[in-house]
Amino acid sequence: MACKSNSKTRGRTKPGKTISPRANIDESFTKSGGSFQVVKAGTLFTVKSNPQLDKENFVFSEDSQYPYFTRTVFNNGLLGYVDFLDEEHLVKGNSIAVGMMGMQFFYQSHDFYAGQFTKTIFPKFNGLNGKTALWFIAWFNKHSNRLKGELIRKFESIFNDIDIVIPVKDNSIDIKYIESRIRELEESRIRELEAYLYEAGFDNCELSQTESAVLSLFNHGEINWKLFNISSLYDKLELKNKRFDKRKDTTTSPNEVFSIPLVNAKHGDNGIMFYGNASVFDSSEMTIDIVQNGAIATGNVYAQPQRTGVLWDAYLIKAKRHSDTENSLLFMACIIQKTIKSIFSYDKKATWNRVKHESIPLPVTSSGEIDFEIIENFISAIKKKTIQALKDFISQEQQAYKSVVQN
């Protein structure tokens, strides 16, 4: 990791753990006449199909204000932000959107546009917001596999039949209880994360002089770039697996027997969905994983520094002449994905025979050689800044939580 472990942190007292206030929240709720009831989702929400438009209809920009919701299960379901198109296709915010492929539900605070095969869930009650939506989304996502196993046209009827447990007081949903419970859960997770960062010794995230200088060069566009053919840098590994039975020789959770991460057509989780038996699956380390097939994952690229094998619909490439580090793998994977993601699709697979002909831009020295020192320091700086931002977020959330509790 980029933030160096500070040896002085070892042996120090860990951040104190707070006693969960859930018992107090529940006791106060029940004493005031509250109770928990099971209701059907259809009594609380209305399902509507979205006015759908392909991404080609939009202009994407970091400065745009309208979210574009798709079937992805990451980034709150958003592919990016787009410029205003029209009112006709705009979907009202303060709602819960879901993609029909991943069947993961996401709260959308603002009006948004949506891609194909998406729907939006609108509340029939007052009080839905960024906190309370998490309560209902947790119940919806528990039924994700059930929803994925049915035809899209049956989505509404199945969704309406989902059981949800809600806190009720005075014949209405107790919004205050839900908000208090969600705040308590968030605080608990933040404390766990804080303890992990502390225990791992990520105390010093200050950029070195070199890292600051390299970051400045990137920010001011003062890096010299040169195009390199991917096949001049990497070879595809021809791993030899024994004949295997997926049910017997793989598992979704690693253990002593199934210890080899296996890449396949996976979107997210660093391309890993299964783990294989080392005696069955050939493997290699310090590689880059390219997904060649999949409705969403085609063209995804992941750094795989650990020993990794291949299940199917993906392949591993390894440096031919240089020796990658974890940092250079991350940099190369990002550059390759940025280059190929928009070129390949489910209908045009990202096979090695196609990908190897593409060229990627890389920073170079004055002599035109790849500048691995700049790459190393750039990724190190990005890691430190990311961890520092996470620590700042923890601090802000703790202060917000304390102010709520005190009031």
CATH value at residue 111: 3.90.220.20
Give the C-alpha distances (Å, rounded to integers) separating 123 from 95, 167, 176.
7, 16, 17
List CB contacts of 379: < 8 A, sequence separation 6 or more.
2, 327, 328, 330, 331
Q: What is the pLDDT of residues 102-141, one digit of tens each?
A: 899 999 999 999 999 999 999 999 999 999 999 999 999 9
Q: What is the pLDDT of residues 353-370, one digit of tens each?
A: 999 999 999 999 999 999
* Residue 150 confidence (pLDDT): 83
Q: What is the pLDDT of residues 190-216, one digit of tens each?
A: 888 878 877 877 767 889 999 999 999
Task: Give the whole-number percent of the chain exceeding pLDDT 70.
Answer: 92
66 plus 119 within the same structural domain: yes
Predicted confidence (pLDDT) at residue 289 exceeds the cutoff of 80: yes
Residue 363: enclosing H or E segment and its boundaries?
Answer: strand 359-363
Which range has the worst mean pLDDT, 24-38, 129-143, 259-273?
24-38
Residue 248: enclosing H or E segment and its boundaries?
Answer: helix 246-249
**Bridge partner residues of 227 (DSSP):** 361
In a domain, 6, yes or no: no
Give the C-alpha distances (Å, rounded to integers) separating 348 from 125, 270, 345.
45, 22, 5
In a domain, 24, yes or no: no
What is the number of structural domains in the chain? 3
308 plus 403 within the same structural domain: no
* Residue 163 confidence (pLDDT): 95
∠ CA 162-163-168, nearest 5°, is 135
Among the residues of 270-325, which ranges form H helices?
none
259 plus 312 within the same structural domain: yes
